[in-house]
Structure formats: structure tokens, C-alpha cells
């Protein structure tokens, strides 16, 4: 456009729904296909649920019903219902809502009048019904545009709101809801709202013990002492210590899971250290006091200020902008009084905490020299110029694209080179391994510093002292789909499980899925990339007679131009996840420890189950180290690798 072309009609004004559809990232963070818990389809679901939770928090409606069937999401609450004359405004007029009135919604999550409108605009089907005192109002939309505005009518339905929507595939592409992510979300809701029942596809979620239930749900083994539970008018805490090396926190504001913490979590960490020092009358190091702590922190704030629309980090300084103390003072005073009283009443717990602090202090002093040498070695090998090709935006940054930051862990120069040339240098970094990592099973944390690969990887991720300053939201293992590649996956997963399990617990570890086949028809000028034999056969039928078929045997065989398709918007990632009943020591012992008849039988049985699915020219990764799929949902070794384990 030249200067002469810049005229009055060059200035465009978008309708509210059009702006949301053109810039969805501003409203829901990211799109995604449902393979990650922060993907947009879950954000849409959560936006509607938040409104129902706010009703419960105000004392209306003890049950919420969530149903998902064939991509149709339906949420029914039994709150007060939207005032019938304002249903359209609430669903389709930006910056409109009752939550601007703090008398009506004192401590709610959704405060900016945007959330439900984003759901409306980004759905191919959106219907909202309000039931109030025997009357009902219903409207239907598509992409934010009204399709049907039904007149008010009589009803026998109980008061409340029914919202249903289908995320628009023209925006999100092909997507799938993963029940495990939804169940985790719903569990947090009931843990934080004692007395609330959520029914998801017929399954009830209810918590009697609040944050104690949350800790028990997320701990893979019992704590060193019974969890401490402290409750106040606008605050609840649950605290214990485990056997892991790092600090593990679950923080919430008005029921919102603030995965990146914020002022409330920082206030807790500081106040906990002060209180412990004063109780034992000793100036312990803060890191020793907090080593291995597992804590859940929930506070309620009037008009909270979050640092993004997706509300993952609290920025508020005050409990109530109109009056009252700062968050730091409120949390500090509460912990100083209640935790001190608890420790005096429970000397066994106090003794357990003291033993843990002394143990951490001893280990820190023993490790001090090793850490110093390791850091100096890391500087000498010029981490950021050799092993790591860094990106510009990091997860720890206050940046709108921080959640997109990823680190690919690769093996070999050719694979590293292909990804480096193909990546988005703004958000995607590459860490190059040199050969197979060490099997770290059964080793102490000294190996993290003494082994060059592990030391440099830890430094690249910035996780030595926990996840608070983690530099990448997604840590992606990118290895070949052959025996060696599968073995490297297992060794890396073992390393993270052994020393940094929170990386897995908090959904940061993934496996990169790359295509096994390229099916090309030169005459048609068409190419299909296939991730399994079924996709290959479909591509052959679609492209016509005798297409050229290439079998990729390693990442290095994929050119940088092709790799751009596989690590861009359509990237396929398999999350590595721990399940409720998985104990990390038992898991590592079974799969990485000494050979046992049980493991032999497990592998042989799984090989038999999958035998019919394996083609001679293309062994499919099978579910025998379902050790690491059932337990850790990842792709697994091929039959040859599994037999070597026996």
C-alpha cells in the first residue's frame, strides 16, 4: 500500500465476533487440537464452567452438569440464571456482565466480560438458555451471529443456565477432547469448592476435604508427615514434604488454577520461610526449608488482576482494591499465626520438618563443590552456542507467546540441523544430545552435575531449583522411531522422573511424532505425510495409481523444508503423563531396574497382543513398555528393543 492508497476506507472496524475469530490468541491463549491441557477447546469449556463456579461461590447452585458427546459440550448449572432481558447482552456484547458489580459477584474468576463471548464467537454452534422463576429465555448463534432468538416462555425447569457449544473446526481444525484433562480440571474445581458436585458424563466429582484431597490426588507416594491443613475466611493451605528434590506447588485464586503462580504464591513461599525460621529460632537457608515441600495455596481476592486472559499468573498486589491489606501481608500474617500454632500443637510434624531441613542442609553442603565445578564447566563449553540453539521468547517471560516456547531435545547432528533450520526461532529452541544419555536409575542427584549432558540440559531448562523459572513450556523429546531412538526416549524419561518429576506432573514433557511415510504423486503435484500404515493406505487410495512411497527411517532423512510441516501449527505431540496410582520409585524399578520374571512376562504378553498389528516392513511401536504409555502416555519401543529388555 502506497501513501496515496492510505485513505479513510483503509481504516476498518471489526465486529466483536470477527475480532475474536481473527485474533483468538488474544482471548484464549492458543488453539491446539486438544492434545495439551492448555489447548483452546479446554479454555472454552473452562470459561463457561467458571461462570457456574462463580454462582456456587455466591451461594447458588450446588450441582453442575457437564456433558460432552460428539464434540457438543453442554453445561448446566443451578444458580440464579441470567436476567432474562440480558441473555443476549451477556452472550454477545463485549465488556458486559454482572461481575463489574462487586456486590453481585464479590470474588469471582471472570471479571472482564469477555470469556463467554469468546466461546460464542469461536463456536459453530452456541446456544444459551436461562431459567428464572418459572420463565425461560433461549438464543442460538453460529460464530457469534444470532440464528434464533426465541421469545420468553413458561418453564418448569429449576433456576440456572444451560450453555451448549461446538468449537468451530474452521478455527480449531480437527480436535479431540481428552477426558483425563477435563477430569483434572473438574477435580480442582471440587477440591477448591467443598460441597460442590460436578457430574461429567454421568460420573460424579465431589470433595469432602478440600486441598487435602488435592494433595493426595497429586502425590505419587505418601508424604513424610500427615498434610497440614490451615483455613481462614479467604485462604486455605495444605502442606507436607515428599521425597522429591524440588518444590511442588498448586496455587489458586478464586478457584482459578494459576499454573505460573504470582503474588499469592510468592507471598506463601516467603512467609513459610520466615515462620519456620522463627519457630525453630534458627536462620536456615530458604532453599533448605523449602526443599521437597508439596503445598497447595488457595486465596480469594476481590477483583483479581491476572497477567493474561487465560489467568495463569496473578498480578494483584491487594486482597481488595477498596480496602484491606496487601496479599503479601494477609498471607504472611495468616501463616505466621496459624502455622506456628499448628507446629506447637503437633510436635511430631515439627520434628519431621526439622529432620527434612537438616537433611537438605547436609546434602546442599556436600553438593556445593560439585555444583560449582559443574557451573564452571557449563560456561566453558559455551552452552548457548554449542549444545543449545536458543529461542527468543521463554516460558518464564511476561510475553503473550510465552506458552508457545518449546525445546526440542534431539540426538545427532543431522536431526538437530534439520530442526534448527526449520524451527520458529522466536519460540522453538533445540538442544543436541551427544550419543545416548546415561541410565540414571538408582543414582543420586550428583549425577546431574557430574554428567556433562545432564548438567547442560538442566542448565538449558533452568530447573535446578524447581519449575518456577522453567524456560520452555514444552520440553519435546525428538528422536528417531528406531531402536536407538526409543531407547533414548526411555533414558530421558527416566532422568526426568528420577530428578525432575514435576516436569511430567505439570504437563511439560512431550514426544514429537514425525511421519513414517511420504506418499507422493508427481503428476498431481500432491504429497501426503503419513504417521501410520492406516494413513499410508488412505493416502495411496486418495492419490491414485502407483504413487511414490518413501519410508523415513530417521529425523535426519527429513529435509528442513519438509520438517517445517511437522513442527509448525500442525505439530503432533504425545504428552508424557503420570497417572494417579503411579509411584515413581516403583515405576522406575519395574522398567529400568534389574530384570524380573514379571517384566519378562509383561513384555512377552504385550508383544503377543500387538503381533498382528506389526507389518514386516514397518514395525509399529507397540504397547509393551506400556510401562510408559499406560503409565506414561508416550510411544514405545519396537519389538526388537523390547526383546533386548528381556
Pick from 157-171, 332-346, 371-385, 550-564: least confident: 371-385
**What CA–CA distance (Å, rounded) separates 69 from 555?**
37
Q: How far apart are the first and last CA of the chain?
A: 67
**What CA–CA distance (Å, rounded) separates 259 from 78?**
28
Scanning 478-581, the segments in alpha helix (DSSP H) are 483-499, 502-505, 533-543, 560-566
Q: pTM here?
A: 0.72
Task: Give 611 or 369, the one with higher predicted confidence.
Answer: 369
pLDDT of residue 105: 40
Q: Is 197 helix (H, G, I), strand (E, B) or coil?
A: strand
- Choose among 329, 328, 306: nearest CA to 259: 306
pLDDT of residue 602: 62
pLDDT of residue 635: 36
In the predicted structure, residue 117 carries a pLDDT above the cut 60:
yes
Task: Give 132 or 364, the one with higher predicted confidence.
Answer: 132
Q: What is the mean pLDDT of the segment spanning 385-401?
A: 82
- CB-side exposure of 93: number of CA atoms within 13 Å? 8
Q: Helices 327-345 and 263-280: crossing angle, nearest 10°? A: 40
Q: Is 321 helix (H, G, I), strand (E, B) or coil?
A: coil
pLDDT of residue 133: 93
Q: Map out the domains of the chain with their CATH numbers.
A: 16-206 (3.30.565.10), 211-359 (3.30.230.10), 381-514+562-645 (3.40.50.670), 517-551 (no CATH)
> What is the strand order of the sheet 203-206 is part of?
145-154, 135-142, 123-132, 160-167, 72-77, 63-69, 197-200, 203-206
Q: What is the mean pLDDT of the segment spanning 284-313?
A: 83
Do residues 182 and 43 touch, judged by C-beta distance below 8 A?
Answer: no
Do residues 241 and 222 touch, judged by C-beta distance below 8 A?
Answer: no
The model's pLDDT over 628-645, given as tens digits with 9 standing for 90+, comes to: 433 343 333 333 443 343
**What CA–CA distance (Å, rounded) separates 432 from 427?**
17
- Choose among 392, 398, 391, 464: nearest CA to 260: 398
Q: What residue ranges in 254-381 does DSSP mark as E strands?
A: 256-257, 293-299
pLDDT-based confidence at 379, cuts 50/70/90?
Answer: low
For the beta carbon of residue 483, count every other beta carbon within 10 angstroms: 16
Residues 6+ apart with CB under 8 A from 71: 166, 167, 175, 177
The model's pLDDT over 252-285, given as tens digits with 9 standing for 90+, comes to: 988 888 877 888 999 999 999 999 999 999 999 9
In the predicted structure, residue 100 carries a pLDDT above the cut 60:
no
Q: What is the mean pLDDT of the segment spanning 364-388?
A: 69
> Using the 8-state DSSP alphabet, how is residue 248 labeled?
E
Amino acid at each position: 500500500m502506497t501513501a496515496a492508497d492510505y485513505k479513510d476506507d483503509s481504516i476498518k472496524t471489526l465486529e466483536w465476533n470477527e475480532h475474536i475469530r481473527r485474533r483468538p490468541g488474544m482471548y484464549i491463549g492458543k488453539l491446539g487440537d486438544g492434545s495439551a491441557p492448555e489447548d483452546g477447546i479446554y479454555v472454552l469449556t473452562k470459561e463457561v464452567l467458571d461462570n457456574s463456579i462463580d454462582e456456587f461461590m455466591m451461594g447458588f447452585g450446588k450441582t453442575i452438569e457437564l456433558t460432552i458427546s460428539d464434540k457438543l459440550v453442554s453445561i448446566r448449572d443451578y444458580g440464579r440464571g441470567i436476567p432474562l432481558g440480558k441473555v443476549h447482552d451477556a452472550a454477545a456484547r463485549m465488556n458486559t456482565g454482572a461481575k463489574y458489580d462487586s456486590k453481585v459477584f464479590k470474588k469471582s474468576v471472570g471479571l472482564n466480560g469477555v470469556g463467554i463471548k469468546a466461546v460464542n464467537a469461536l463456536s459453530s454452534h452456541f446456544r444459551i438458555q436461562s431459567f428464572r422463576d418459572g420463565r425461560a429465555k433461549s438464543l442460538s448463534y453460529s460464530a457469534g451471529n444470532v440464528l434464533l432468538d426465541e421469545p420468553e416462555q413458561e418453564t418448569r425447569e429449576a433456576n440456572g443456565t444451560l450453555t451448549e457449544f461446538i468449537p468451530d473446526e474452521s478455527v480449531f481444525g480437527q480436535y479431540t477432547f481428552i477426558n483425563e484433562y477435563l477430569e483434572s480440571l473438574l477435580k480442582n474445581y471440587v477440591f477448591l469448592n467443598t460441597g460442590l458436585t460436578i457430574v461429567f458424563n454421568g460420573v460424579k466429582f465431589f470433595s469432602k476435604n478440600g486441598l487435602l484431597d488435592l494433595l493426595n490426588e497429586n502425590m505419587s507416594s505418601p508424604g513424610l508427615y500427615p498434610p497440614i491443613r490451615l483455613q481462614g475466611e479467604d485462604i486455605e493451605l495444605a502442606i507436607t514434604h515428599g521425597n522429591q528434590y524440588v518444590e511442588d506447588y498448586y496455587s489458586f485464586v478464586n478457584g482459578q488454577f494459576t499454573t505460573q503462580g504470582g503474588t499469592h504464591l510468592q507471598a506463601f513461599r516467603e512467609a513459610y520461610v520466615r515462620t519456620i525460621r522463627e519457630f525453630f529460632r534458627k536462620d536456615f537457608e530458604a532453599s533448605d526449608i523449602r526443599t521437597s515441600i508439596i503445598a497447595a495455596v488457595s486465596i480469594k481476592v476481590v477483583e483479581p488482576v491476572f497477567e493474561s486472559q487465560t489467568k495463569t499468573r496473578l498480578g494483584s498486589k491487594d486482597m481488595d482494591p477498596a480496602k484491606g491489606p496487601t496479599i503479601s501481608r494477609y498471607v504472611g500474617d495468616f501463616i505466621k499465626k496459624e502455622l506456628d500454632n499448628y507446629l506447637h500443637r503437633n510436635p511430631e510434624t515439627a520434628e519431621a520438618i526439622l529432620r527434612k531441613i537438616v537433611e537438605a542442609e547436609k546434602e546442599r553442603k556436600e553438593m556445593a563443590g560439585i555444583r560449582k565445578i559443574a557451573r564452571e564447566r557449563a560456561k566453558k563449553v559455551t552452552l548457548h552456542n554449542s549444545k543449545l540453539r536458543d529461542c527468543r521468547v521463554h516460558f518464564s517471560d511476561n510475553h503473550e507467546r510465552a506458552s508457545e516456547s518449546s525445546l526440542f531435545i534431539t540426538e545427532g547432528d543431522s536431526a538437530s540441523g534439520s530442526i534448527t533450520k526449520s524451527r520458529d526461532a522466536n519460540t522453538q529452541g533445540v538442544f543436541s544430545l551427544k550419543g545416548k544419555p546415561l541410565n540414571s536409575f538408582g543414582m543420586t542427584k550428583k549425577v546431574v552435575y557430574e554428567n556433562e549432558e545432564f548438567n547442560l540440559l538442566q542448565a538449558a531448562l533452568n530447573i535446578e531449583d524447581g519449575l518456577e523459572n522453567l524456560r520452555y513450556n514444552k520440553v519435546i523429546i525428538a528422536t528417531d522411531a528406531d531402536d536407538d531412538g526409543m531407547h533414548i526416549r526411555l533414558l530421558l524419561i527416566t532422568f526426568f522422573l528420577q530428578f525432575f518429576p514435576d516436569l511430567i506432573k505439570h504437563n511439560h514433557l512431550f514426544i514429537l511424532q514425525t511421519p513414517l511415510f511420504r506418499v507422493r504423486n508427481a503428476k498431481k503435484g500432491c504429497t501426503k505425510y503419513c504417521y501410520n500404515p492406516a494413513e499410508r493406505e488412505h493416502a495411496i487410495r486418495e492419490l491414485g495409481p502407483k504413487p511414490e512411497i518413501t519410508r523415513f527411517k530417521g529425523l535426519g532423512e527429513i529435509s528442513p523444508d519438509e520438517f517445517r510441516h511437522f513442527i509448525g501449527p500442525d505439530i503432533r505431540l504425545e504428552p508424557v503423563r503420570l497417572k494417579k496410582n503411579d509411584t515413581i520409585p516403583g515405576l522406575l524399578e519395574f522398567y529400568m531396574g534389574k530384570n524380573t520374571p514379571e517384566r519378562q512376562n509383561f513384555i512377552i504378553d504385550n508383544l503377543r497382543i500387538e503381533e498382528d498389528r506389526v507389518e514386516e516392513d514397518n514395525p509399529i511401536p507397540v504397547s509393551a513398555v506400556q510401562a510408559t504409555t499406560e503409565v506414561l502416555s508416550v510411544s514405545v519401543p519396537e519389538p526388537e528393543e523390547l526383546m533386548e529388555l528381556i
